[in-house]
Structure 1
Amino acid sequence: MKLSPRLESAGISLRDMTEADIPAVEALERRLFPVDAWPVQMFFDELSQPETRRYVVAEAAGRIVAYAGLMCIEPIADVQTIAVDPEYEGKGIGSAVLTELIEEARRRRAADVLLEVRADNPRAQQLYLRFGFEQIHVRPRYYRDGTDALIMRLPLTDLHPTEGTEA
């Protein structure tokens, strides 16, 4: 997995999530999303489906500081989760894990990447907009606390047509 020289020089590494990472990931999940945290079993269930799932973690000084996951059932990829420890926000880690998920979606031949983002999370929305996602729908009261979810889409077919195909 490629990381920017800035992240590498800061001692950040990116790798696939394993079951051994779940306790640390779940602790970060509960801290960041107290109302909407996934049950721990959900992480085990997601990792048990590598044919349609890919999860990554970012580490700094041997500690997990971010994680993200993708489900891909051709032709749609869906960002299942993405989280960065607030102490590490603004360092490019969110961009790095999102880039890895988008590349995985391309490898799996997805035509589009979809995601839900809280309507009250402008920082995440800005990240997705910078990557070319567009808002396509609103799911009212999607989150447990009643907050709307913005549905965003990144078309992959328009960005990088498959090489060697005829028009």
Structure 2
Amino acid sequence: MGIRIEPMVPTDIDGCVELEQLLFPEDDPWHAVAFRSELAARYNRYITARDDAGNMVGYAGIALLGDAEHPEAEVHTIGVDPTCHRAGIGTVLLEALLAEAGRRGGPVFLEVRTDNAAAIALYAKHGFHIIGLRKNYYHPSGADAYTMRRPALADTATGFARTPDEVLS
């Protein structure tokens, strides 16, 4: 299956809400108003993953925070259609978010349920480390979350931030 990444647009919101209901039923899934608010914030970047037929099979969002001297980013969400789990879509979405953050430099933060082993492994594979525990973070389930951090990708010779693609090459 080919996957293409596109910027999220308002017409994608209904599909995102449907996926939220499937993915996070016990933890207050986002409603359309939340997605509209996220899309409207100038520091946020939201994307969708589409299959060869143009169907949305995933979405993700990141906040690009701080300033030019002290940038940082926070992954807000990644969701993949359950019928497409284990097809690499989450990886593609995460890598797109990290590339966006990498253009600015700085560390990247996120929260993940402590019982989501697949997501924790994905994040660890991309350089994230657990730095804290947030008890009862998710509501209404009361599930705990790990706070994870990926340090800035800095060129040790120059101190300049690099994108994930540059690090791998």
Q: Name the Cα RMSD after superposition.
A: 1.5
For 1:5, the equivalent position in structure 2 comes to: none
- Answer yes or no: is the 8 Å Cα contact 1:67–1:97 preserved in 2: yes
1:162 is aligned to: 160
Query: Matched residue pairs, number?
Result: 152
Equivalence map 1:16-27=2 (5 Å): 16-27=7-18
Partner of 2:111: 116
Distance (Å, rounded) in 1 between the aligned partners of 2:105 and 2:134: 23
The one of 90, 95, 110 aligned to 2:91? 95
Q: CA deviation at 1:127?
A: 0.3
5+ long unaligned stretches in structure 1: 1-9
| Structure 1 position 39, deviation (Å) | 2.1
Distance between the aligned counterparts of 1:159 and 1:38, measured in 2?
38
Cα pair 1:114 1:152 within 8 Å, conserved: yes
Structure 2 unaligned blocks of 5 or more: 162-169
Shift of 1:159: 6.0
Matched residues in 2 for 1:73 and 1:11: separation?
Answer: 31
The whole-number CA distance in structure 2 between the counterparts of 1:93 and 1:18 is 19
Write the mapping of 1:9-158 to structure 2, written as runs, cut at 5 A.
Answer: 10-36=1-27, 37-49=29-41, 51-60=42-51, 61-74=53-66, 75-107=71-103, 109-144=104-139, 145-158=141-154
Any runs of at least 4 consecutive aligned residues in structure 1 with deviations exceeding 2 A, and if so which? Answer: 157-161
- TM-score calculated relative to the size of structure 2: 0.85
Percent identity among equivalent residues?
A: 41
Assess if the C-alpha contact under 8 Å between 1:72 and 1:110 holds in 2.
no
Cα–Cα, structure 1 residues 146 and 132, in superposed 2: closer, same or farther, change >3 Å? same
